Amino acid sequence: MGNLHVLNHPLIQHKVSMMRMVETNTKDFRALANEISLLMAYEVTRDLPLESKEIETPICKTQAKFVAGRSIGVVPILRAGLGMVDGILTLIPNAKVGHVGLYRDPRTHKPVEYYCKLPIDAEKRTLIVVDPMLATGGSAVAAIQFLKDRGCSDIKLMNLIAAPEGAKAVMDAHPDVDIYVASMDEKLNENAYIVPGLGDAGDRLFGTK
């Protein structure tokens, strides 16, 4: 069974609170999304395997630890997921990036696919799917299924803010996927927006409303 990790480090909580504020402008919102994503990536990669290699310091030869095993892929769910990519790449600059394009139909709240482009060796990588919001979970469940349909099996999900309904939907559909969130909020409202949430993440990141 995948685990749900709430990454409530004080710096993360502080930055999430600033993102929620209605007066936070696009420039600051964007910066905060990347800063939180960087901090979260530190925890998401905590279980990466290490291998020892002999190196030489200015003093002597020694066995030193290096990250081993699978390479990382970051998969933003378009478009709001893009707002998390740079922060993660600051920490993991060699990661490749795939894109899954989904939007929520405003009437049905169901995800509609419009784009999917992955690194050619995606199935050999540990993939971190990123999206600021996990609301009903429809988008994340569908995005993870696309990756599985293309042979990927080592998948983690990273969201800034989640609703309990969305976390449950992902855990039910993809019990093998670990979920990392900065905040587990209270509930969804009648429009399937997260309460208290931060509003429409895509619009706030890109200034489209």
* Among 15, 21, 39, 29, CA closest to 158: 39
CB of 204 to ligand URA, least distance (A): 8
- Residue 194 interacts with ligand URA (CB under 6 A): yes or no: yes
Integer CA distances (angstroms), 148 to 98, 104, 177, 185, in order: 14, 21, 11, 28
Q: Taking contact as CB under 6 A, which single stretch among the options 4-12, 28-36, 88-96, 129-137 is the one that binds ligand PRP? A: 129-137
Q: Taking each helix axis from N to C terminus, what angle separates 26-44 and 10-20, rounded to the nearest 10 degrees? A: 150
CB of 133 to ligand PRP, least distance (A): 4
Considering only residues 48-107, where is the footprint of ligand PRP by CB under 6 A?
A: 77, 79-80, 103-104
For residue 71, what is the DSSP state? P
Instruction: List the one residue from 13, 18, 192, 199 that touches ligand PRP (CB under 6 A).
Output: 192
Between CA 102 and CA 104 the distance in angstroms is 7
What are residue 175's phi and psi, to 5 degrees?
Answer: -65, -10
Contacts with ligand PRP by CB under 6 A: the residue count is: 22
- Residue 197 interacts with ligand PRP (CB under 6 A): yes or no: no
Instruction: List the one residue from 83, 180, 197, 205 that touches ligand URA (CB under 6 A).
Output: 197
- Residue 81 interacts with ligand URA (CB under 6 A): yes or no: no
**Binding partner selected for residue 82 from ligand URA, ligand PRP, none, CB under the kind-specific 5 to 8 Å limit:** none
Looking up tokens 């929520």 gives 104
- Residue 111 interacts with ligand PRP (CB under 6 A): yes or no: yes
What is the number of other CB atoms lying within 10 angstroms of the CB of residue 134? 28
Catalytic residues: 104, 108, 200, 203
What are residue 61's phi and psi, to 5 degrees?
Answer: -80, 150
Beta bridge pairs of residue 99: 117
Between CA 169 and CA 107 the distance in angstroms is 19
Binding site for ligand URA (CB under 6 A): 133, 135, 193-194, 197, 200-202
Binding site for ligand PRP (CB under 6 A): 77, 79-80, 103-104, 109, 111, 131-140, 166, 192, 200-202
